[in-house]
């Protein structure tokens, strides 16, 4: 792996996670698998893009990769998480939700209203914190009933977490399978394009020379 830098490995990892989101490995547990891949993309890219910490301002870093990672965060400031191409769902998909107390959508059938006017930057910080910092039960399953088999199936996840550190207000996110695939893929693309600066030679090196072997 001569000439391969840490940023090549970072690019390769996130790009491979995206590849599995785009073309999932065969499994009967597709929603669980997608959640694992989505969460991995989110945690890696958010943590790396927040190289400036809570300040949010670009630093005088010597490493060009730090500047490119920070570019991801700056790109998140220009649009809402409900804007294209992210399109966080504001209505549940056309599935039959099981009437369980914790799985009922709002009476008007709209969801994710807490995030309707939230920037991508704020959304990904909140969601990373909810997944990584939440104590107790912050994540619950969303169920649906199969019209064909009548079985109860996992459709996604409902996440409840404080709006900000120390806040008493909680936000509620309904995260369905298609949202995880779409948003996770877009986030991975944004990160990889920034890290490589769209340099195809960088991407070729990262894709072909970063090898993996279990110990």
> What pLDDT does 73 receive?
96
Asked if the bond preceding 85 is cis, omega within 30° of 0, the reply is yes
Residue extents of the structural domains in the chain: 6-51+62-209
| Other Cβ atoms within 10 Å of 71 Cβ, number | 18
How far apart CA 106 and CA 117 sit, in angstroms, is 18
Residue pLDDT, tens place only, 41-53: 999 999 999 999 9
Handedness of CA 59, 134, 175, 112 (dihedral sign): negative
Sequence-ordered list of residues with C-beta below 8 angstroms from that of 174, at least 6 positions apart, any chain: 89, 92, 105, 111, 112, 142, 156, 157, 158
> What pLDDT does 107 receive?
47
> What pLDDT does 203 receive?
86
Question: Which helix (DSSP H) or strand (DSSP E) does residue 208 occupy?
Answer: helix 200-209
> What pLDDT does 148 receive?
77
* Below-70 pLDDT ranges, the chain: 1-3, 95-108, 215
How far apart CA 42 and CA 27 sit, in angstroms, is 22
DSSP 136: S
> What pLDDT does 124 receive?
97
| Other Cβ atoms within 10 Å of 194 Cβ, number | 23
Six token digits for residue 108: 């008007």
> What pLDDT does 215 receive?
67
């Amino acid at each position: 792996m001569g000439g391969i830098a840490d940023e090549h490995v970072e690019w390769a990892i996130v790009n491979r996670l995206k590849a599995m989101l785009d073309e999932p490995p065969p499994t009967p547990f597709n929603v669980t698998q997608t959640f694992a891949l989505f969460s991995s993309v989110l945690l890696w890219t958010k943590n790396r893009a927040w190289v400036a910490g809570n300040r949010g301002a670009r630093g005088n870093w010597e490493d060009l990769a730090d500047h490119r990672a920070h570019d991801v965060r700056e790109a998140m400031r220009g649009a809402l998480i409900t804007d294209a191409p992210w399109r966080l769902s504001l209505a549940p998909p056309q599935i039959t939700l099981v009437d369980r107390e914790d799985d009922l959508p709002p009476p008007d059938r709209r969801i994710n209203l807490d995030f309707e006017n939230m920037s991508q930057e704020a959304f990904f910080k909140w969601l990373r914190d909810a997944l990584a910092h939440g104590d107790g039960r912050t994540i619950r399953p969303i169920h649906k009933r199969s019209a064909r088999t009548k079985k109860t199936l996992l459709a996604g996840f409902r996440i409840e977490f404080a709006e900000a550190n120390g806040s008493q207000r909680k936000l509620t996110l309904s995260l369905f399978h298609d949202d995880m695939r779409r948003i996770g893929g877009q986030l991975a693309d944004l990160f990889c394009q920034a890290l490589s600066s769209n340099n195809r030679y960088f991407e070729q090196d990262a894709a072909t020379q970063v090898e993996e072997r279990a110990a």
